[in-house]
Amino acid sequence: MDDFELACKGLYRALAIREKYMRLAFQRFPNTASEFLRNIEGEKWKPENQIQPVFTSPPEPGEDPFNTKTLPPNPGYVARMHEGVVFFHTKTYTHRRLKFLMSKFNVHEMLNEMEEMKELKNNPHRDFYNCRKVDTHIHAAACMNQKHLLRFIKRSYRVDANRVVYSMKGKEMTMKELFESLKLHPYDLTVDSLDVHAGRQTFQRFDKFNAKYNPVGASELRDLYLKTENHIGGEYFATIIKEVAGDLEDAKYQYAEPRLSIYGCNSNEWTKLSSWFNKHRVFSANLKWMIQVPRIYDIFRARNFVPHFGKMLENIFLPVFQATIDPQSNPELAVFLKHVTGFDSVDDESKHSGHMFSTKSPKPDEWDIVKNPSYTYYIYYMYANIAVLNQLRRERGLNTFLFRPHCGEAGAVTHLLACFMTADNISHGLNLKKSPVLQYLYFLAQIPIAMSPLSNNSLFLEYNKNPLLEFHKKGLVVSLSTDDPMQFHYTKEPLMEEYAIAAQVFKLSTCDMCEIAKNSVLQSGLSHEEKVHFLGTNYLKEGPEGNDIRKTNVAQIRMAYRYETLCYEFSLIKEGVKGD
Amino acid sequence: MDDFELACKGLYRALAIREKYMRLAFQRFPNTASEFLRNIEGEKWKPENQIQPVFTSPPEPGEDPFNTKTLPPNPGYVARMHEGVVFFHTKTYTHRRLKFLMSKFNVHEMLNEMEEMKELKNNPHRDFYNCRKVDTHIHAAACMNQKHLLRFIKRSYRVDANRVVYSMKGKEMTMKELFESLKLHPYDLTVDSLDVHAGRQTFQRFDKFNAKYNPVGASELRDLYLKTENHIGGEYFATIIKEVAGDLEDAKYQYAEPRLSIYGCNSNEWTKLSSWFNKHRVFSANLKWMIQVPRIYDIFRARNFVPHFGKMLENIFLPVFQATIDPQSNPELAVFLKHVTGFDSVDDESKHSGHMFSTKSPKPDEWDIVKNPSYTYYIYYMYANIAVLNQLRRERGLNTFLFRPHCGEAGAVTHLLACFMTADNISHGLNLKKSPVLQYLYFLAQIPIAMSPLSNNSLFLEYNKNPLLEFHKKGLVVSLSTDDPMQFHYTKEPLMEEYAIAAQVFKLSTCDMCEIAKNSVLQSGLSHEEKVHFLGTNYLKEGPEGNDIRKTNVAQIRMAYRYETLCYEFSLIKEGVKGD
């Protein structure tokens, strides 16, 4: 009984910390959890206190998404830069709770599966095919499938063989000359020689996987086709992305959140990226943009591109602050930022850094060694900047950003701890398998997890060992995403392929699939207006009240089960906390 | 050593039996196996003795596939009706050989995987996407996916609501009236209410699975949309099939072999079926037709539709003999038969019959009890009729038929024994897992097996327990097929979905996938001309000689490995047989 109370107090503290951090950064914390926390504290929960992120509304019919005239004026602000860690004990309690949650779902399934199906059968017009689903985690540079890229390369050669598309050591080259220098002819290219698909060779080899981004192993072709900055101003890359967007628009019910990179190596990266975005008008109602920041300070420092880590952070964030304070100083960036919905932190999590982040750690400006800071260090400083940025943007009536890092794909479980305190939602989360405490906390705080079992299957974990089904049964909020269709998928509809395989291997019911699709919409950066349209007016309410089966095709029985189960776990914690 | 010789003699005898049975029926037996058998017998193998099935050539440009003028005249023949069983011992030897084959392939893979990939990368124009692949096992009544059927029903209602499409107890009904009588409106229909997809409920329940053929659980809708005989002459079913064929033609590299049913309940079934085929001109270069005969004599006998089993066989085969002898007596059937490439035997194999088939078994005309004959009894009589029929058709210069039964999906391993002697190739073969002797024999005789792991996953065996990968590694000839896209698949390209999932779950290499695609073409009823076009002029030759990598994208290293491995096993058997 002592153990029970100790565990509940720890869980209470952890949740209170996440709640505070989420509020600060305009990220999300579920009402159900807030209500219980206030209840434990003997306070009254006020629904008006809840915080929601703000995403740019979709353009009105006829409205130009690239319009710079509606950007707000400069109020005359100036911009600058901040730390955090916690720990906790006793795994037994959370392990027991998770086992219970699993068994409880199995019983629910056995008792109510047919009833859930009956609800869905009686729900007219709506089935899994016309439920909205968002590909919550996808990298722009690999958002087309391998066959699409191959066709694009061949087509570009037929049209543009004599166009200057590349410059090597100052010498300009036509596409024909470029391919000749690589001893290739696009006509002969096949999916095999293109060699961008992950295979058995990439398993547990992130380095080999990363090399797959180079078509035919040639970084020149990656530059030409998959980059925003190159001799042709990223024209091909923009065209490919717009083709992918066109497919999503045709499919009508599918959305995607592609990641574009900001490296922090140079202060003009944002200007270049937003200029590419505006020039090629890379806008689609079915795409919501994310910025990914690779954790590769060590590479830039070794080449003397940056003097210290602080400079990298400055390159990443200061331009965004400036364009927020005075949008007209960089209208293209200010417009681009309206369509950005969040930040991702990316790289191989299995790499070690050895540094333990604490109050004694060097400040970013003091971090001038070549060694890379730890995952936690990166996460903290990204969170802190996003939190301040969101406060500013909210005040200015602008859209806010979510922090949605890759987390728990590999490496230490501390990554998942850092993100529990800082991230609105995460990608992967596989390592929650290894920590019952964190897994239970991610359940309690209902932190969305974008899972990509096909990606994991090629990199870190075999498909049938993927914890997606287990997490879903226990009530963690999981969505399905493709990560890199170029490397992992075979068909023309990668997101449907991802759902189809999960449905088959895990034997998901229609209700399971629609619940996962619903989770993906909630997790995403789709605007309030779109979420109302896709999920119903009450979508922000938790439990069955917030579910409109006519839109989601998720059974009310399922929603009631989820809500009651979550509330029961909270009431146990309350009992434990009050025990003393 | 005694054991070794005993085992080899048994294997030799078994193979000799299959060879004889295949020759008799114009079915296939590999040259490599024949050459070793002759070698053991001290005889010289003559390549000119090999027998090949004959499939109708594709129409010349402008040629009408429904032309009846080119059918041969009646030579004045008369038509009639025959038995078989064997057994063998010692599992240890074959079990050891199979284990060896598995390990040998693993070593081959570790040593040569990169070399195989190199061959494929250097192979211009050809990759997995433009290799020909045949869906070797698919039922016409479930050849569209659930979403396709749903769209078709809604569309038909928009156009034909006031058309008389059904008659119930003599009363004619419009489509509107039919749907009203079912208390349905097509506008409200969803994939969920359509309820044709297999789910967890169908696992190990073939009865529940069969019920899924009824849209919305209504047999009236199955009649209207998925039958060749109904009030509208099977128009909708023909249209749906032609739409599926259109998709395959667009995909260009995909073919399918749909099964249509002949029940043997009535002697005019063939006339009706071929009339439907000709009237609606259900022809596509991407479809090859198969006839499936359900093993449901017991149902017909119980309702007094047939007096004995002999009558059922007569209803199934006599019309085909007659149309073979005198095509002009039933030109529509004679034309249809040109496009039929084989016979399938279908039903739930897990049902028991209890009867042991032997020389003492009642002859078909004496089988007048309500009890169903055993699987073996059905298989023997189908084989025997097909053998005689093929002799006759060959003599008349007509195309021949392959016997390609469902076998080893469930039930006793004796099914696989019966088909070892009688079938050119089989569907499923899961139970080869249970018998090392038969598994080894299927390997030696290179009997193609159309496997459908997604179908099995919903019915008999979980996906990751499917023996496909194991069989493929050991050198059994496997292909991939969908069985029933309506019940099992989610995407618009069911065959690609089947390949994609197998590739992901089993981590198949490109070479593996292309080898499986090549197997599917060889197994199929595509004509000699088409096989030459798709696989190369030497496709009938075994080993690397028969492989044209430019067409198949299968590495020569792989083909050499397969051929040497097979020959080595034969040379061991020869040693064992000669030992005495």
d(CA B342, CA B402): 4
What residues contact residue B253 under an 8 Å CB cut-off, 6+ apart?
B129, B130, B131, B132, B133
Does the pLDDT of residue B459 top 80, yes or no? yes
What residues contact residue B38 under an 8 Å CB cut-off, 6+ apart?
B44, B45
pTM of the shown model: 0.87
* Model confidence pLDDT, tens digit, residues A196-229: 998 888 887 888 888 888 999 999 999 999 999 9
pLDDT for res B86: 34
* Model confidence pLDDT, tens digit, residues A308-360: 999 999 999 999 999 999 999 999 999 999 999 999 999 999 887 777 788 88
Across the interface, whether the CB atoms of B192 and A463 are under 8 A apart is answered no
Across the interface, whether the CB atoms of A491 and B496 are under 8 A apart is answered yes
* Model confidence pLDDT, tens digit, residues B420-436: 989 999 999 999 999 99
Q: Residue A512: name the closest of A126, A122, A120 by CA.
A: A120
Q: Residue B56: name the closest of B530, B535, B536 by CA.
A: B530
Burial (0-12, 13-18, 19+ Cβ within 10 Å), A560: middle
Reported as type and span, the H/E element at residue B167 is strand B164-168
Does the pLDDT of residue B88 top 60, yes or no? no
pLDDT for res B78: 59
pLDDT for res A83: 36
Mean pLDDT of B543-569: 95
Report the percentage of chain B scoring pLDDT > 70.
97
| C-beta separation of A420 from A402 below 8 A | no
Mean pLDDT of B512-540: 96
Q: Residue A513: name the closest of A472, A476, A483 by CA.
A: A472
Alpha carbon dihedral A492, A496, A499, A501, in 10-degree steps, equals -30
For A37-55, letters b (16+ CB in 10 Å) and e give: beebeeeeeeeeeebebbb
Closest Cα in chain A, distance from residue B164 (Å): 26
Query: What residues in A contact B459, CB-CB < 8 Å?
Result: none
* Model confidence pLDDT, tens digit, residues A366-404: 999 999 999 999 999 999 999 999 999 999 999 999 999
d(CA B468, CA B451): 7
DSSP state of B162: T
Residue of A nearest to B217 (CA): A121
Across the interface, whether the CB atoms of A491 and B509 are under 8 A apart is answered no
d(CA B21, CA B25): 6
In which order are the strands placed within the sheet that holds B133-139?
A: B133-139, B254-261, B289-294, B340-346, B402-403
Query: What residues in A contact B195, CB-CB < 8 Å?
Result: 121
Report the percentage of chain B scoring pLDDT > 90.
73
Residue of A nearest to B553 (CA): A192
Lowest mean pLDDT among A42-46, A308-312, B505-509: A42-46
Of the pLDDT bands very low, low, confident and very high (cuts 50, 70, 90), residue B140 is very high
* Model confidence pLDDT, tens digit, residues B323-370: 999 999 999 999 999 999 999 999 999 887 777 788 889 999 999 999
In which order are the strands placed within the sheet that holds A289-294?
A: A133-139, A254-261, A289-294, A340-346, A402-403
Q: Residue B543: name the closest of B558, B570, B566, B563 by CA.
A: B563
* Model confidence pLDDT, tens digit, residues B176-209: 999 999 999 999 999 999 999 988 888 878 888 8
Closest Cα in chain B, distance from residue A261 (Å): 28
CB pairs < 8 Å spanning A and B: 120
Lowest mean pLDDT among A75-84, B123-132, B243-252: A75-84
Q: Is A479 helix (H, G, I), strand (E, B) or coil?
A: strand
* Model confidence pLDDT, tens digit, residues B382-414: 999 999 999 999 999 999 999 999 999 999 999
What residues of B are in the A interface, CB distance below 8 Å?
Answer: 113, 117, 120-129, 147, 187-193, 195, 199-200, 454, 457, 463-464, 489-493, 496-497, 499-501, 503-505, 507, 509-510, 553
- Comparing CB atoms, the residue among B126, B457, B509 nearest residue A199 is B509
Query: What residues in A contact B554, CB-CB < 8 Å?
Result: none
Does the pLDDT of residue A497 top 60, yes or no? yes
Mean pLDDT of B454-482: 95
Q: Is A193 helix (H, G, I), strand (E, B) or coil?
A: helix
Alpha carbon dihedral A561, A564, A569, A573, in 10-degree steps, equals 170
Average pLDDT, chain A: 91
What residues of A are in the B interface, CB distance below 8 Å?
Answer: 113, 117, 120-129, 147, 187-193, 195, 199-200, 454, 457, 463-464, 488-493, 496-497, 499-501, 503-505, 507, 509-510, 553
Residue of B nearest to A121 (CA): B193
d(CA B95, CA A496): 41
| C-beta separation of B196 from B221 below 8 A | no
Across the interface, whether the CB atoms of B200 and A147 are under 8 A apart is answered no
Residue of A108, A137, A308, A428 marked active site: A428
pLDDT for res B6: 78
Mean pLDDT of A180-188: 92
Does the pLDDT of residue A530 top 90, yes or no? yes
Alpha-carbon radius of gyration of chain B: 24
Token pair 């096992």 is found at: B137
The verdict on whether A339 is a catalytic residue reads: no
- Comparing CB atoms, the residue among B464, B490, B500 nearest residue A490 is B500
pLDDT for res A1: 53
Query: What residues in B contact A128, CB-CB < 8 Å?
Result: 191-192
* Model confidence pLDDT, tens digit, residues A352-364: 777 778 888 999 9
Does the pLDDT of residue B447 top 60, yes or no? yes
Does the pLDDT of residue A82 top 50, yes or no? no
